[in-house]
Structure 1
Amino acid sequence: MNKCTTVALFDPPDWIVALFASVRRLETRHLFCELGEDHDDDHAAMLWDEGGRPGSAVWARWARRNMRLASLGWCTALTPKEEACGLFDDHPSAHAWDVTDRTLEAWKRELAKDFPDHFPEYGEGHES
């Protein structure tokens, strides 16, 4: 499944910047939804994580122009190789390992041309 292509401008108001000043520097930037393209809930992008503790990841969740910050626990699902999902608990759509970021994949294919030892999975015979 492909990654959602929704982008939002994160432009925190001054009072939010002041509230988080002792924890994190918040600045205006674009956020890219990290969920699979078929989700039917708010979009989501992780802003930061304070060491992987439960509830330590702060996510931006948005629908249209309404954005909120939420401290969310991590999804507990694991692959057979015990790799973590990387999304928040009870996320809509597929787990992170089933979501393909086509832009990132294109960058890796290009980098593999110059640095094949760093990207062996994109060598000859790799399916696009």
Structure 2
Amino acid sequence: MRQCEATTHVPPAGLLVAILAGQGRVLGSELAYTPPRVRCELGHGHDGEHADHVWDWDHKPTHALWAHWTTAQPLRFESLPWCEAIGGVDQDACTLYWDHVAPHAWDLHDPVTEALRRLVITEHDQKPD
């Protein structure tokens, strides 16, 4: 299934407050890894809010900070446990949060990555031998 393509801007101050509320401190250098925009990681056409992982907790590896939003509601942050499902061809762990809407991460395909893959294959097939 194709991954959702919804995106939104991340307010840096709001993300910093969410991180500080969750772990109490953050180094300035770590903030270089925070995203300026988020892109929904759920399946295309899903119900409910969009969601994207934005931060791994230092003190709680079983949880992560997620951004949630809709077109009608502003971005909000929530600490959620990781999905515990294992599956797919390679028996990978799902990289979404617990109790997310179906499908699991291993069944989702990023349309941008897929387009680049097709472009590389096309260019490779067009090269003279």
TM-score for both structures, normalised by structure 1 = 0.71
Counterpart position of 1:77: 85
Out of 98, 106, 109, the position equivalent to 2:107 is 98
Q: Give the aligned partner of residue 120 of structure 1.
A: none
Cα distance between partner residues in 2 of 1:76 and 1:70 = 18
Considering only aligned residues, what root-mean-square deviation do their CA atoms show, in Å? 2.9
Partner Cα separation in structure 1 for residue 85 and residue 18 of structure 2: 33
Residue 113 of structure 1 and its aligned partner are, at CA, apart by 7.2
Relative CO higher for 1 or 2, CA cutoff 8 Å, sep ≥ 6? 2
> Do structure 1's residue 38 and structure 2's residue 45 form an aligned pair?
yes
Partner in structure 1 of residue 3 of structure 2:
3
Structure 2: stretches of 5+ with no match in the other structure: none
Alpha-carbon separation, structure 1, partners of 2:104 and 2:19: 29
Q: Which protein is richer in helix relative to its size? A: 2
SS of aligned partner of 2:43: coil
Q: How many residues align?
A: 114
Q: Please, what TM-score do these two structures have when normalized by structure 2?
A: 0.71
Equivalent pair of 1:38/1:93 in contact (CA under 8 Å): no
Q: CA deviation at 1:74?
A: 0.8
SS in 2 for 1:66: coil
Cα distance in 1 for residues equivalent to 2:31 and 2:56: 13
